[in-house]
Amino acid sequence: MTCEGKVALVTGSSRGLGKAIAQRLAREGATVALTARTLEPDPKYQGSLRETVEEIETLGGAAIAVAGDLSDSAERERLFAEVVERVGAPDILVNNAAVTFLRPLDTFPERRVRLMMEMHVVAPLHLTQLAVPAMRERGRGWVLNLTSVGGDLPQGPPFAEFDRSAGFGIYGTVKAALNRLTKSLAAELFDDGIAVNAAAPSNPVATPGAGSLDLAKTDTEDIGLISETAYLLCTGDPKTLTGRIAHTQPFLREVGRL
């Protein structure tokens, strides 16, 4: 299947994974609605919605930008309504926007726990709820949640040094919750022809966000693997390709793309 004639809403698309996925969907014919907090270029950040739109349009694609704070419920409703008004209800929803703090669990601030839960779990659920009515009416739709191998359960005891010291406890917890949410949505929306999947890089990707957290210095993965995985999950047959928690390299080998 293709993205021709479809609308794709991609969150967190001013930079990093979201930008790469938005560009790929636009290249395949989708009209892409981009959202993040950074609309105009800002020297404090690498990338902006305006720059992503310009790069997509330069290559012949179609895109709009709608800035918003996805940690706020009212903002999510406002930006979703604006997307529908400007380009139509999304056929494809990519929940990529995230915020990450790395701290030991015994000192993790409650407000940051709540913010991470809001961004990684509540916001994807809310946006999916907003997108479902039009998808259900059309009898088709694709929802993709960006997750992480960090959502996999640590093996042990004994526990690996990484799991004992890295401070990834809350990050892993919210991604595990997102994985469970993905599976539940896939099951509940299966009869409506709506595919719900999650995708994760098999290894860290050297994005601006990973750099700010001092990650992705070694064993990095090409960002093209996640955009290819996203494209396949956002165009596959909802009756056979749904409910997947896909790690890029094993998934792409499975489908003959790696």
Q: Could you read off the pLDDT of 107-158 as tens digits, one per residue?
A: 999 999 999 999 999 999 999 999 999 999 999 999 999 999 999 999 999 9
In this prediction the pTM is: 0.94
Q: What is the largest CA-CA distance in the chain?
A: 54
pLDDT, residue 2, reads: 86
Say which residue the tokens 């989708």 belong to: 30
Burial class from Cβ neighbours inside 10 Å (0-12, 13-18, 19+) for residue 111 reads exposed
Give the HSE-up count for residue 90: Cα atoms under 13 Å, Cβ half-sphere: 31
Domain boundaries, the chain: 7-254
Sorted by sequence, the CB contacts under 8 Å of residue 50 that are 6+ apart come out as: 39, 40, 41, 65
Q: What is the residue type of 242?
A: T
pLDDT, residue 212, reads: 45
pLDDT in tens, the chain (258 residues): 789 999 999 999 999 999 999 999 999 999 999 999 989 988 878 899 999 999 999 999 999 999 999 999 999 999 999 999 999 999 999 999 999 999 999 999 999 999 999 999 999 999 999 999 999 999 999 999 999 999 999 999 999 988 888 899 999 999 999 999 999 999 999 999 999 999 999 998 876 554 444 554 555 799 999 999 999 999 999 999 999 999 999 999 999 999
Q: What is the residue type of 147?
A: T
pLDDT, residue 162, reads: 84
Burial class from Cβ neighbours inside 10 Å (0-12, 13-18, 19+) for residue 236 reads middle
Yes or no: say if 176 and 223 are a contact pair by the CB < 8 Å rule. Answer: no
Closest CA relative to residue 97, chosen from 127, 120, 79: 120
| CA–CA distance, 230 with 152 (Å, rounded to integer) | 19
Burial class from Cβ neighbours inside 10 Å (0-12, 13-18, 19+) for residue 239 reads exposed
Q: Could you read off the pLDDT of 57-76 as tens digits, one per residue?
A: 999 999 999 999 999 999 99
Burial class from Cβ neighbours inside 10 Å (0-12, 13-18, 19+) for residue 12 reads buried
List residues with catalytic annotation.
171
pLDDT, residue 218, reads: 53
pLDDT, residue 207, reads: 63
Say which residue the tokens 């093996």 belong to: 155
Instruction: Give the CATH architecture of domain 7-254.
Output: 3-Layer(aba) Sandwich (3.40)
The encoded tokens of residue 193 equal: 């022809």
How many other C-beta atoms can be found within 10 angstroms of the C-beta atom of residue 243?
Answer: 16
Burial class from Cβ neighbours inside 10 Å (0-12, 13-18, 19+) for residue 212 reads exposed
